[in-house]
Amino acid sequence: MVGGGPGAFIGVVHRMAAALDGEFELIAGAFASRPERSREQGRALGLDAGRVYGTWREMAEAEAALGEDRRIEAVSIVTPNHLHHPVAATFLNAGIPVICDKPMTTTLADADDLCDTVERTGLTFALTHNYTGYPMVKEARHLVRSGRLGTVRKVVAEYPQGWLSTRLEETGHKQASWRQDPDRAGGSSAVGDIGSHAHNLVCYVTDLEIDAVFADLSAQVPGRVMEDDAGVLVRFVSGARGVVMASQVSTGEENGLALRVYGDRGGLIWRQECPDRLHLLFPDAARQTLTRGSPWLSAAARHATRLPPGHPEGFIEAFANIYRSAGRKIGAAIAGVEADPLDRDFPDHVDGARGMRFIESVLKSDARERWVGMGGDP
C-alpha cells in the first residue's frame, strides 16, 4: 500500500475491504510522505519492518528486486490525487498490478499517459470507483442493459455533501486541505472528488456516451479558491439528456449520491445512503422495490452479495464489533491488563441465560394460557 498513513480515512477502508474476503494480505507499504510516519504506521499494522519503506520510489524498486514469489502481487494506491499518476506508472513499469483510488490522475493528459502504460504492460489496473461495487448498482446496470427501462431519455445524477460548508481546509483538517489545494487535488474540487463518482455511476449504469456538457461551477464559501458547487447539463450522443450535480456546500447533507434513470418503458432510482434498495417505476404498473440478496436478481448482483436480504451489509460490521471487543478483552486477559471499558460492551453468558429464561417463560405461558413470572417457576 502506498499512502494510508496515520489519520487517513480512505486507507483504512481499503485495508478493511481487502481483508474481508481473504483475497489479499497486507505485507508491504510506504504509508506517508515522511519516512518516520510511514514506519509508525507499519508498526501499528504489525508488518515486517523490512517491508515498510520510507518512500514509494524506494518501495517500488525494492519490491521489484524481490523474486516473483516474494514480492507483492499488487499495490494499492491511496495517496492524494497528484501522486496517483507517478506512483501507478512506476509500479506498473516495475511489473506490479495496481489498485488505485480515484480520480485516476489530475489531468486528462496524465490519464491518457497512464492508459498507455496499462495497455503496454498488460497488467491489471483497478480504480476504486467504489459505488459501482454495490450489488444494487450492478442490478441497475443489468436492468438498463436488459431493456427493462427501454430507451433511456433522461438521467439525473446528484452528489450533495455538506462537509465543506465552512472553510475546513483552514483548520488543518487533513482531507479538506489537500482537496482544496490545486497542487495536490488537481484543477477541481467538487467535480474531481465527487462529481467524478456521479459521472462514473452514469456511465456504468447506462452505457451512454456523453456528447457535450455545459457547466456552472462556483466557490460558495467566501475566500475559497476551488469550486465547491457544480451544476452540469449533459447531452448524450443518443439524444438523451442529463443533469449532474455535485456540491460540497449542501449543508447538512452527508454523502447523498443518487442516480435516476428514465427510459421510455420505465425508470429507476438508487440512493447510496440506502444502498440495498433499487426502486423501479413503470407507466402502467405498481412501483417495485428490489432488495439486495433476493434470489431473483441478476448474476452480477448476486455475485457481489455476501448476505441474505434484510441483513444490511453493515450487519457484518455489527458482528465485527462483538468480535473486536471480545478479541480485545481476551487479549487484555492474556496480557494481564484491563480491557478498555468500551470493549467490555458485548453480550455474554448472563445475557444468554436471561434469554433462555425468557424463552422458557414464553413457552410456559403459551402452554398454560396465563401470565408467567420471569422470577422462576411459581
Q: Which of residues 51-70 bind a copy of itself (CB under 8 A)?
A: none
Quick check: 335 binds a copy of itself (CB under 8 A)?
A: no
- SS3 assignment, position 260: strand
Contacts of 28 (CB under 8 A, 6+ apart): 1, 47, 51, 52, 53, 59, 63, 72
Quick check: 207 binds a copy of itself (CB under 8 A)?
A: no
Count other Cβ atoms within 10 Å, centred on residue 37.
15
Of 60, 143, 149, 258, which lies in the binding site for a copy of itself, with binding defined by CB under 8 A? 149
Contacts of 334 (CB under 8 A, 6+ apart): none
Instruction: Say if CB 279 and CB 268 are below 8 A apart.
Output: yes
Stretch that binds a copy of itself, among 33-41, 56-64, 176-184, 260-268 (CB under 8 A): 260-268
Quick check: 191 binds a copy of itself (CB under 8 A)?
A: yes
Stretch that binds a copy of itself, among 33-41, 57-65, 102-110, 176-184 (CB under 8 A): 102-110
Quick check: 223 binds a copy of itself (CB under 8 A)?
A: no
In the complex, minimum distance from the CB of residue 174 to a copy of itself, in angstroms, rounded to a whole number? 13
Instruction: Say if CB 168 and CB 100 are below 8 A apart.
Output: no
Of 27, 62, 64, 320, which lies in the binding site for a copy of itself, with binding defined by CB under 8 A? 320
Quick check: 27 binds a copy of itself (CB under 8 A)?
A: no
- SS3 assignment, position 60: helix
Quick check: 336 binds a copy of itself (CB under 8 A)?
A: no
Element (H, E) at 215: strand 210-218
In the complex, minimum distance from the CB of residue 113 to a copy of itself, in angstroms, rounded to a whole number? 9
Binding mask 69-98 for a copy of itself (x = CB under 8 A): ----xx----------------------x-
Taking CB under 8 A as the criterion, which residues in 280-309 touch a copy of itself? 280-291, 293-294, 296, 299-300, 303-304, 306-309
**Burial of 184 per CB tally in 10 Å (0-12, 13-18, 19+):** middle
Stretch that binds a copy of itself, among 35-43, 47-55, 56-64, 270-278 (CB under 8 A): 270-278
Quick check: 224 binds a copy of itself (CB under 8 A)?
A: no
In the complex, minimum distance from the CB of residue 184 to a copy of itself, in angstroms, rounded to a whole number? 15
> Shortest CA distance to 51 belongs to which of 34, 75, 33?
75
Stretch that binds a copy of itself, among 30-38, 53-61, 176-184, 317-325 (CB under 8 A): 317-325
Stretch that binds a copy of itself, among 32-40, 49-57, 176-184, 243-251 (CB under 8 A): 243-251
Which three cell numbers, joined as nine digits, stand for 168? 475546513
> Shortest CA distance to 302 belongs to which of 317, 310, 291?
291
**Cα dihedral across residues 177, 181, 186, 187: positive or negative:** positive
Nearest to a copy of itself of 55, 251 (CB atom)? 251
In the complex, minimum distance from the CB of residue 364 to a copy of itself, in angstroms, rounded to a whole number? 8
Alpha-carbon gap, residue 290 to 281, rounded angstroms: 11
Q: Amino acid letter at 208? A: L
With CB under 8 A as the rule, give the number of residues binding a copy of itself.
191
In the complex, minimum distance from the CB of residue 118 to a copy of itself, in angstroms, rounded to a whole number? 4
Nearest to a copy of itself of 6, 133 (CB atom)? 133
Instruction: Say if CB 306 and CB 317 are below 8 A apart.
Output: no
In the complex, minimum distance from the CB of residue 62 to a copy of itself, in angstroms, rounded to a whole number? 20
First to last CA, the chain: 64
Q: How far is the CA of 108 from the CAs of 39, 105, 187, 227, in angstroms?
A: 34, 7, 11, 18
Instruction: Say if CB 208 and CB 240 are below 8 A apart.
Output: yes
